Every structure is written in structure tokens, then in C-alpha cells.
A = this chain, B = another copy of it.
Amino acid sequence: MAVSAAAANEATTSAGALDRLLDATRPGMDLVNAMILERARSHVELVPEVARYLIDAGGKRLRPMLTIAASMLFGRADGSEVNFAAAVEFMHNATLLHDDVVDESEMRRGRAAARMIWGNQASVLVGDFLLGQAFMMMVDTSNVEALRVISKAATIIAEGEVLQLAKTRDLTTSAAEYDEVIGAKTATLFEAATEVGAMAGGANAAGREALRLYGRELGFAFQLVDDVLDYRGESGVLGKNTGDDLREGKMTLPVILALQTATPAEREVLVGALGKVDAGEAQLMQAVAIFNRHDTLGRTIEQAGVHARRAREALKPLPPSEMKSLLGEIAEFTVARAY
């Protein structure tokens, strides 16, 4: 993979962007975090137990932070952005709970997946609870347009997950089809997060569209980098096991690109490892060696870079502001994670 000095430099610069976004959105995120804790409550003990286990593990809360940031861009935030951000995070967590069941994952956010402790049943049902609460928080704002964005997103995300499921171990999956999968399963929630944020901030139609597009392109970049990191052995950072995608037979871009130009022998190795639940370190290393020979991890990052640039460009019509610059840097940071 080609890591240029310039890129490494960019990584250092943009690493600070996330911290600055954290700082800039802190007042809003404090309210969001309080609402998240409040709405994870239930008189049925098992519900907050499972929900809090996942929520406390935290992650970066990037999606709700983007909602708050988007609302701040337009300077007329009316408070509904807190509900929207918390709803987006609940939807994300509901998806994670269901995904772990679908993927039979054992790890999530650096520790045992909820289903390994409470079983698949609780994961499915608490996911449903979080989805219901997400809609409740949206309803509390009485903003029907935002409700439309969020409920449409819920539908499209589920379709994307089903499409990915249908493409499991399908060696004929094209890069375009994979774009469709991640456009639905990942980019849709990023897109909804920034779009409803802009709406809460009082954006006009052009501002709303700019933020929608920004979120969508950012989501693509984010997922493509995740797909690369899955092969990079940073399970501590990601909270997933290295090579999970391979073991789950997921046709991500590094695999799709490799299959396009692989020799018959290389193809045999990849096909043998794809979807093999007990594929070990050796098989994983072999696959990564093939990726490196065809530079498919590097090419996937390049593709992520294209999306990050488009995200930046989407913000162009907006007047200059500190938040606008910061969101541009966040797009760079998303890709810089890969270095």
C-alpha cells in the first residue's frame, strides 16, 4: 500500500480534528448524552442492562456529534437537534445489536457482544426497544419532515443489510453492487444524521441538501476505511476481531478488487477463506498478502479519499465558518484513520 509522506502528515494534522469537534459540540452532546441515558431506562430491568452495556461502551458517538455540528452551522438551532442526535445514536445502537445477531459476532467495541452475554433474544428485542424509543424522541419534536427522513433511513438501512446478507460469499459481487450495499447500510444513517441536524439548525433547502450530501459522502468514506481496518489487526481500536469480514464471507471492496485481478491460485486461497468461520491467522495473512500484491487495501483507501473530497465539496456553497472548516477536516480525518 502506498503511504506517502504527505498522507502521513495529513493524518497527524487531521487527528486533532475529532478532538476539536468533540470540544465544539460538547454543550449539545452533554444534553444528548443525558437524553440517551434517560431514554435507555425501563421498568423492565433487562432492557437498560443490555442497552447500557452497549451505550456505555460508547464508541465515539460520531453520528450524533455530526447532527449537533450540522445544527450549529446554521445558527438557529431550536433544541430539537438534541432529540434528533439521540435518536440517531439509538438507531445506530439498535442496528449494532441486530447486526451482531445477523453476523454471529462475538466482539463489539472491544468487548464481548451483548448477545454473547444475554443471548440473541435479548439483542433482537432490546434493539427493537431502542428503535421504538428513537421514533418517540423524533415524535416529541413534532417535526414530520425530520420523521420522514429518519423512518425512510430505517427502511433503507434494513434493505442494505438484507442486500449484504444476500451477497454473502457471492463471488460475482461487483464494486457497484458493494457501493449499493454501503450506500444503504452505512451512508444512509450518516446522511440522515447531518440532514436532520441541518433542519434543526434552521437551514434552507440548499443548506439542508449540502449537509445531506456531506453526510452521505462521509458515510461512504467511513465505511470503506472500516473495511480496510478490518484487515489491519487493530481489534483494540475497532472492537472487532481482525478478519471478521473475511470469516463472515463479507464481500467488501478489498476482496472484490482482489478477485478481479487475482491469479487462479490466489483466487483459490481467497475463496477458501471467505466465509470460513474458523479461518486462522495463517489464512488471514495469506489473504492480506494477496490484497497487498494487488494493492486493494490502498485502492480502497483511495476510493474513500474520493468520497471524503466530495464530502468537503458538498459544503462549498455554505458561507465560511469555523464549523464548516472543522467538518471539512473531519472528512479528511475519516480517511486518515487508515494510515
Query: Which residues of A does B touch, CB under 8 Å?
Result: 42-47, 98, 101-102, 120-122, 124-126, 128-129, 131-133, 135-136, 138-139, 142, 144, 147-148, 151-163, 165-166
Residues on B with beta carbons closer than 8 Å to the beta carbon of A102: 120-121, 124-125
Let me know if B44 and A129 touch, CB within 8 A: no
**A162 CA / B159 CA spacing, docked (Å):** 25
Residues on B with beta carbons closer than 8 Å to the beta carbon of A124: 98, 101-102, 124
Among residues of B, the one whose C-beta sits closest to the C-beta of A134 is B151
**A44 CA / B183 CA spacing, docked (Å):** 13
Query: Chain B's nearest CB lies how many Å from the CB of A177?
Result: 11
Query: Chain B's nearest CB lies how many Å from the CB of A115?
Result: 11
Let me know if B158 and A132 touch, CB within 8 A: yes
Q: Which of B46, B162, B165 contacts A165 (CB 8 A)?
A: B46
Let me know if A139 and B148 touch, CB within 8 A: yes
Among residues of B, the one whose C-beta sits closest to the C-beta of A163 is B44
Residues on B with beta carbons closer than 8 Å to the beta carbon of A120: 101-102, 120
Let me know if A166 and B46 touch, CB within 8 A: yes
**A124 CA / B132 CA spacing, docked (Å):** 15
Query: Chain B's nearest CB lies how many Å from the CB of A186?
Result: 15
Closest 10 CB pairs of A and B: A132-B155, A132-B154, A135-B151, A129-B158, A128-B158, A102-B121, A44-B163, A44-B159, A125-B162, A139-B148
Let me know if B98 and A128 touch, CB within 8 A: yes
What are 30 A-B contacts with C-beta separation under 8 Å? A44-B163, A46-B166, A47-B162, A102-B124, A120-B120, A121-B165, A125-B161, A126-B158, A128-B154, A128-B157, A128-B158, A128-B161, A129-B158, A129-B162, A131-B131, A131-B154, A131-B158, A132-B151, A132-B155, A132-B158, A133-B155, A135-B147, A135-B154, A136-B151, A136-B152, A136-B155, A138-B151, A139-B147, A139-B151, A144-B147
**A144 CA / B129 CA spacing, docked (Å):** 20
Q: Which of B126, B136, B153 contacts A162 (CB 8 A)?
A: B126
Among residues of B, the one whose C-beta sits closest to the C-beta of A153 is B132
Query: Chain B's nearest CB lies how many Å from the CB of A55?
Result: 16
Residues on B with beta carbons closer than 8 Å to the beta carbon of A125: 98, 102, 158, 161-162, 165
| Most chain B beta-carbon neighbours within 10 Å: one of A124, A156, A160 | A124
Query: Chain B's nearest CB lies how many Å from the CB of A2?
Result: 36
**A339 CA / B336 CA spacing, docked (Å):** 69
**A166 CA / B147 CA spacing, docked (Å):** 32
Q: A47-B159, A128-B98 are in contact. Are A165 and B135 (CB under 8 A)?
A: no
Residues on B with beta carbons closer than 8 Å to the beta carbon of A132: 151-158
**A121 CA / B103 CA spacing, docked (Å):** 8
Residues on B with beta carbons closer than 8 Å to the beta carbon of A101: 101, 120-121, 124
For the A-B complex with A132-B151, A144-B147 known, give 19 more contacts whose Cβ atoms are closer than 8 Å.
A43-B159, A44-B160, A46-B162, A98-B125, A101-B121, A101-B124, A102-B121, A121-B165, A125-B162, A125-B165, A128-B154, A128-B161, A129-B155, A129-B159, A132-B152, A133-B155, A135-B135, A135-B147, A135-B154
